[in-house]
Structure 1
Amino acid sequence: MGEGKKFIVKTQRGMESVAANYISEVLPDANVWASPMGYSGLIIVESSAEDALDKILQIPEVERVIPVIVETEANLEKIAESAEKLAGFIGENETYAVKTKRRGKHDFSSIDVNRVLGAKIKELTNADVNLSWPDKVVQVEIIGDRAYISVIPGDEFRKYTPDKIDARKLFSKLTLVQMPYWGDYKACRLFGEKIGRAAQAFEVKELIIAPKEKMDAYELMEFIRGVKVGQESRYQIQRDAYPWKVEKVPVTVWDLYQVVRDKRRKKRLLIITDPKGPTLAEVKDKLARDLHYAKEVVVFIGSREGIPKGLFRFADYVVDLAPYMTFATEHGIPAALVSLWEVYEEFLRKEE
């Protein structure tokens, strides 16, 4: 490749060739290498144009652009030496973290790179390491026998920032009471998978599968099997993606009416979603305060038919989430929990 500024461009897998073509159109002088060494979702661009970065970012297929500060051999000694050129981008009063993405076979790991390069930068800058909320991130992209290194703002990596309130404050004390789906075996299992996935996604305190009357044992069995499959698939994703330890949501079976009796006796906050109740906007202030002070919040979700009307008398709230609309069974959990979180978050921000 010729002289110029280099960029590591990232796209969705399979979109790198499309993006590379558009980059070549907007930067005719650029050298563009799509899928370097066969790695999909990557493009290496070299251009002498001053506005190269802005032009690349105008392409919708491009997800991220990392300007390369140092290109060197992919070995620990050479990567550590790059700290001399990187140190000037990190102030003494700033925090930093080293993050490495390694592609190919090497006699070192990504953790080795983070440790060696991080220590050298510490020596040169006296800046503090902060792995959670760094001001700057030293990004090391290793592709085969070459390493491309940059220093970028830390907020580009922050999914979980201090200004965001952790939704698990609410969901960790929330119990879902879900009426099971019944009918065709395949449908029971399919709906079970969706409900298991949704309950695990919100990391709730417990999922109670609650039939309201005698039902076919094999239909219930298929539904519960589906719940287990859906929960496991979501759990595996969470375990790989989250920086905290994730627990599987406990799943139990209990008669619907007995759940109401037990939770009411223990003075838990009971919420039923039904079109016959007031809208969320009408009750949100009082509801949010009750959500905050409740030891446990119990939310009842119907299936094919709503929660029996006789239980409404025992609920603290019967809420209409979307007037003139009825949610499908698989949408009950996400619709209810997202709505409750929005109300609760607004309350917390007012309290702050």
Structure 2
Amino acid sequence: MKFIVKTQRGMEGVAANYIREALPNSKVQASPLGYYGLVIVESDDENAVEKILEIPEVERVIPVLVEVPAEIEEIVNAAENVAPFIGENETFAVKTKRRGKHGFSSLDVNRSLGAKVQELTGADVNLSWPDKVVQVEIIGDKAYISVVPGEEFRKFTPDKIDARELFRKLTVVQMPYWGDYKACRSFGEKIGRAAQAFEVKELIIAPKEKMDAFELAEFIKGVKIGQESRHQIQREAYPWKVEKVPVSVWDLYQVVRDKRRAKRLLIITDPKGPTLAEVKDNLARDMFHAKEIIVFVGSREGIPRGLFRFADYVVDLAPYMTFATEHGIPAALVSLWEVYEEYLRSREKE
């Protein structure tokens, strides 16, 4: 039987050598036609898949059901060999990875083969979470067709709660870094990336007192650079539109006055407060009902102690530890999401 083995780019040679050791009587071809991250294996060993998957460099093993010339008519005709592996009550999708030059696109294969498989099986198409995937791997003039279960590891599945539900109503108030210009810009970049990564409602840069205008300018430039670099990655990686997080500057004490007056939920992260475990149940409930959540993060020094009186929660995220400035936003937001998700799942059970 023939298998398409996928690896990280550049690891195909290493994986091929280990496969030869595990399956000594097999034919192993690394980087067919020069394409990285691929190994083609031919073996009569009944336990070939299990043995190949014992190799850490291997990411996926796809058993080939049909091998046909890389012509769309031949690929569609192969549907008769594919159909018996898909039940009428199952859903399926066709996914094509094309390598080389051809007179058709991957979408052409998906549409034509998908229509034929649906005609033969009566099964419904589900492009998001199919029970079965008809995998078409085209390498040069050959097409290798398989039927595999839906992906085991997915970024987005129905059982995962969208973390953006929380972060869309969460504003981060970040004290700026000050000092050396290069350091200000460097820390600004890290904070800009972090705020954009979580797609928070707003990032407020909040000095607690008068500070050097040029140091603040360098910090803000860094925030912009970090935000734009992360936003570009998000645009390429996500299937939805991602907006840039609004960034503003405001005096720290005025933020507290305004948000407190508006009855928003104020959370300060500081080692002087109780641990997250002590307050998580009430905190999660209040975050669920809050219209807006304001999280204060220090820089070089913590949030002024006088503001603790106006906070709804002062939380110690990791007792006996102090986070670096650039770790403040990720540490706080990941911690809050964990207790929030636990609360949502407990509500679902109830």
TM-score range, shorter chain: over 0.9
The one of 292, 298, 302 aligned to 1:302: 298
The one of 312, 334, 337 aligned to 2:330: 334
SS of 2:215's partner is: helix
Q: Could you tell me how far apart the structure 1 residues matched to 2:218 and 2:88 are?
A: 60
Pairs within 5 Å for 1:1-352: 5-156=1-152, 158-352=154-348
Indicate the larger mover: 25-34 or 153-162.
153-162
Q: CA deviation at 1:272?
A: 0.4
Q: CA deviation at 1:348?
A: 0.8
Indicate the larger mover: 13-22 or 229-238.
229-238
Residues 98 and 137 in structure 1, CA contact (< 8 A), matched pair in contact too? yes
Q: Could you tell me how far apart the structure 2 residues matched to 1:34 and 1:183 are?
A: 53
Q: Could you tell me how far apart the structure 1 residues matched to 2:25 and 2:318 are?
A: 54
Q: Could you tell me how far apart the structure 2 residues matched to 1:189 and 1:107 are?
A: 50
SS of 1:156's partner is: coil
SS of 1:219's partner is: helix
1:116-135 CA-to-partner distances (Å, cap 9, x unmatched) read: 11111111111111111111
Residues 275 and 324 in structure 1, CA contact (< 8 A), matched pair in contact too? yes
Letter in 2 for 1:240: E
Q: CA deviation at 1:156?
A: 2.7
Q: Could you tell me how far apart the structure 1 residues matched to 2:53 and 2:266 are?
A: 49
**What RMSD in Å do the two structures reach over aligned CA positions?**
1.2
Letter in 2 for 1:14: G
Q: CA deviation at 1:157?
A: 5.4
Letter in 2 for 1:73: P
Q: CA deviation at 1:215?
A: 1.8
Aligned residues: 348
1:248-296 CA-to-partner distances (Å, cap 9, x unmatched) read: 2111222211111111111110000000000001111100100000001
SS of 2:10's partner is: coil
Which consecutive unaligned segments of at least 5 residues does structure 1 have? none
Q: Could you tell me how far apart the structure 1 residues matched to 2:69 and 2:209 are?
A: 69
TM-score (norm 1): 0.96
TM-score (norm 2): 0.96
1:57-91 CA-to-partner distances (Å, cap 9, x unmatched) read: 00011111111111112221111111111111111
Residues 201 and 234 in structure 1, CA contact (< 8 A), matched pair in contact too? yes
1:217-254 CA-to-partner distances (Å, cap 9, x unmatched) read: 22222222222222222222222222222222111222
1:128-183 CA-to-partner distances (Å, cap 9, x unmatched) read: 11111111111111122221121111133532221111111111111111111111
Q: Which of structure 1's runs of 4+ aligned residues deviate more than 4 A? A: none
**Kindly, what percent of the aligned residue pairs are identical?**
82
Letter in 2 for 1:87: A
Indicate the larger mover: 218-227 or 24-33.
218-227
Q: Could you tell me how far apart the structure 2 residues matched to 1:202 and 1:256 are?
A: 22
